[in-house]
Structure 1
Amino acid sequence: MSNLLPATKIFQIIQTVGQVTDTALGKLDGLIIITPDKIPAPLWRQVPGTDALRLIDKRRGAGDQAFTRLLNRRATGVWLHKLPDKAADGTPVETYGLLKWAAEAVKAALSEHPRNLGVVALGLETHQSEPALRALLLAVAAHTFHLPDFHSQPKQRQTLKKLRLIGMQQRLDLHRTMAEAEAINLARWLTALPANKLTADTYRDTLGKLAKRHGWKTRFYGLSQLKKLGAGAFLAVAQGSADQDAGILHLQYRPATGVRKPKLA
């Protein structure tokens, strides 16, 4: 049975603490800069490509992105994006609004198919920069993911290899964020598979591979078991299938339990 799981490997994330240096910029094909909606004059001095970006920003007005290139050997593209304080209706920016902003922020940079992309947050408080960086990571992961392509000669594309978070005050724990990114992309992948590829049987096999990889317990309830359990609604739907391979696969995961401290009396 063919493997229906995506083969796409997610990019490597490198976090660099400290000031942004020319050496760090020289490794990048593109750079996304996140700033407050209103940039104070002292902050502009920290912005790579500040002369051009400041001039463009002044012309275009607040809220618009600005773009320039650095005069280095990579001609690094630089996109300046301001993090909005409030949504268009004046309410605080919630999760959906932040993800929508992040999707727009990475779109132009990824259109150049960089192998090394940098992100730096300047002039933001931790409670602002951390959610913004996490949203950008999710957006980059979604944009760079390749959905199923069953052409005899799939289109060759340059893939993002490294995402560098530079100018960090401290490293972030991104394990959960990247797990979310992989889960979202897996769901997108499975829903994009054609019906002749993802059948009930191949779906069960695919989930079995995932369970083995991640240490999940599985239990499959076939049609005969479901009849005994009285799962009438499910059985009614399953009758429409020519193959009697439908069923319910129960997945279970329990993390390893640590040593629990005794409760105080």
Structure 2
Amino acid sequence: MDFQTQPMAPGATAKLTADALLLVLVGDKLPADLDAPLADAVAEAIKLGDLALKPGKTLYLRQVPGVKAPRVAVAVAKDGSARAIKAAGAAGIGVVKGLGVKHLAVLAAGPIGAAQAEALATAAADAVYLYRTTKPSAGEAPALAKLTLLVAKADAADAAAGLARGAAIAEGVTLARELANRPGNHCTPTLLAAEARKMAKAQGLKIEVLDRKQLEALGMGSFLAVAQGSDEPPKFIVMHYQGAAKTVPPLVLVGKGITFDSGGISLKPGEGMDEMKFDMGGAASVVGTLRAVAQLKPKLNVIGVIAACENMPSGRALKPGDVVTSMSGQTIEVLNTDAEGRLILCDALTYVERFKPAAVVDIATLTGACVVALGAVHSGMFSPDDALAADLLAAGHAALDTCWRMPLDDDYDEGLKSNFADMANIGGRPGGAITAAMFLKRFTAKLRWAHLDIAATAWKSGAAKGATGRPVGLLTHWVLSQAK
């Protein structure tokens, strides 16, 4: 989508050529500087009871005298915050998106800074996304291809910067959603690697994909143990964005790429198992974030690492009670084969030590326990590093893609003791998201590390079933904050 800003001047709505105009109102009064024809039309609608100046309310008007755009949508925001503007923008776009609108002009009451502009850009991109890869009957995606944001001259520079950031994040989120929405028989580890190559080539990134023999040579016994139950070969994907000198330590993102998770021998219940195609949401977010970063070109280095395989039951599959040796040399007693994400991530975390990174964040749809703890509002964030945790929290708030810091007290580590290996891969049910993070922590002694559990935020169930693209926004904002 093409995002542009245009300086707002008196009478602009009478001259602006667009298929529709979206007016975002804030609070319970019409702005005093609103062009008279538009103000009169909205005031009349309020008088007639067609519109109430309450958050979430919308209105559709046709052929407003004195307004050049043939369609006018009005949406009311709770306040001038980016979150409220995004919600109102999404509601307003929803009013016109099925009407063949290709060019939408947006006029929001009050100051529009970078955060509000970014929010409108991501709302527009979300509104027009339509999954069609395996559903051609879904029809054509909404026609919206251009958004022009009308802003005061004093706000123009900030708004343009926000739109640019929002456009890049929107591209990354859309790519992440598309990858995660594909069925497991389409988005195999091999296809995921091919899509990563395609993105990397288009954006000028370096990429390498390691196969089973190379992983065996590296000693990734834990990752390969998960992969051994499937006929689909594992892939280990490493993408490099270089925006600074090679000597500058990179930021590293590590994504869980279980392209389908049956649970293995510890088989999951059949109900809802189809949603386990989303178990590569962490991997999808890494690809999407690298896509956004490449477009924004910050002056730092970023490496995206993805461990991709299936978790399947077969005569070769990992069994409860098996002991595997990780790349770090630590041994793991596998008490539950459905706790497989941590088994692939631990080898990936050991692998990235070679980059001597400035910081490492792993992203994984790791535990149902995190769903219970936080619901779908916040992603779970774990880190022993206060500064890194603070940066991630701030990035989440800036991106409207929030996380919540969870504990990593040493007492939780007791649950991972094993009589037959250096550790077990699960603790008890209580605090399951925390003991999973404690497991990963055992492989991060040489790293500044944080873990994002996105099991509740990477996709939606029910009538709105589908990937969300989270936490591409959070990760992109974090990377940009480190460039500063």
Structure 2 contact 82–116 (Cα < 8 Å) conserved:
no
Structure 2: runs of 5 or more not aligned = 246-298, 300-484
**Separation (CA, whole Å) in 1 of partners of 2:144 and 2:218:** 49
Write the deviation string for residues 6-61 of structure 1: whole angstroms up to 9, x where unpaired.
xxxxx22232213114221xx22211112321325634x42652223112234343
Query: Counterpart of 2:144 in structure 1: which amino acid?
Result: L
SS of residue matched to 1:42:
coil
Alignment of 1:251 with 2:242, yes or no, is no
Question: CA shift at 1:226, angstroms?
Answer: 2.5
The residue that corresponds to 1:191 in the other structure is 180
The residue that corresponds to 1:222 in the other structure is 211
For the aligned residue pairs, the C-alpha RMSD in angstroms reads 2.9
SS of residue matched to 2:225:
helix
Q: Percent identity?
A: 24
CA separation of 1:22 and 1:52: change in aligned 2, threshold 3 A: closer
**Separation (CA, whole Å) in 2 of partners of 1:126 and 1:72:** 24
Alignment of 1:32 with 2:18, yes or no, is no
CA separation of 1:150 and 1:113: change in aligned 2, threshold 3 A: same
Structure 1 contact 102–139 (Cα < 8 Å) conserved:
yes
**Separation (CA, whole Å) in 2 of partners of 1:234 and 1:108:** 47
Query: Counterpart of 1:193 in structure 2: which amino acid?
Result: R
SS of residue matched to 1:39:
coil
The residue that corresponds to 1:234 in the other structure is 223
**Separation (CA, whole Å) in 1 of partners of 2:220 and 2:89:** 43
Alignment of 1:68 with 2:61, yes or no, is yes
- Count of matched residue pairs: 234
SS of residue matched to 2:242:
coil
Structure 2 contact 106–150 (Cα < 8 Å) conserved:
yes
CA separation of 1:110 and 1:198: change in aligned 2, threshold 3 A: same
CA separation of 1:134 and 1:94: change in aligned 2, threshold 3 A: closer
The residue that corresponds to 2:125 in the other structure is 141
CA separation of 1:254 and 1:231: change in aligned 2, threshold 3 A: same
The residue that corresponds to 1:83 in the other structure is 77
Structure 2 contact 75–89 (Cα < 8 Å) conserved:
no
Query: Counterpart of 2:25 in structure 1: which amino acid?
Result: T
Structure with the larger RCO, 1 or 2 (CA within 8 Å, 6+ apart): 1
TM-score by length of 1: 0.75
SS of residue matched to 2:207:
strand
Structure 1 contact 79–109 (Cα < 8 Å) conserved:
yes
CA separation of 1:66 and 1:73: change in aligned 2, threshold 3 A: closer
CA separation of 1:193 and 1:74: change in aligned 2, threshold 3 A: farther
Structure 1 contact 116–163 (Cα < 8 Å) conserved:
yes
**Separation (CA, whole Å) in 2 of partners of 1:46 and 1:167:** 14
**Separation (CA, whole Å) in 2 of partners of 1:156 and 1:195:** 24
The residue that corresponds to 2:8 in the other structure is 18
SS of residue matched to 2:121:
helix
Structure 2 contact 3–164 (Cα < 8 Å) conserved:
no
CA separation of 1:41 and 1:143: change in aligned 2, threshold 3 A: closer
Structure 1 contact 49–78 (Cα < 8 Å) conserved:
no
94, 100, 103: which is aligned to 2:90?
103
**Separation (CA, whole Å) in 2 of partners of 1:41 and 1:219:** 55
CA separation of 1:157 and 1:104: change in aligned 2, threshold 3 A: closer
157, 162, 166: which is aligned to 2:146?
162
**Separation (CA, whole Å) in 2 of partners of 1:251 and 1:220:** 9
Question: CA shift at 1:185, angstroms?
Answer: 0.2
CA separation of 1:168 and 1:125: change in aligned 2, threshold 3 A: closer
**Separation (CA, whole Å) in 2 of partners of 1:41 and 1:139:** 23
TM-score by length of 2: 0.43
**Separation (CA, whole Å) in 2 of partners of 1:204 and 1:41:** 51
Query: Counterpart of 1:138 in structure 2: which amino acid?
Result: T
Structure 1: runs of 5 or more not aligned = 1-10, 87-92, 259-265
Query: Counterpart of 2:133 in structure 1: which amino acid?
Result: D
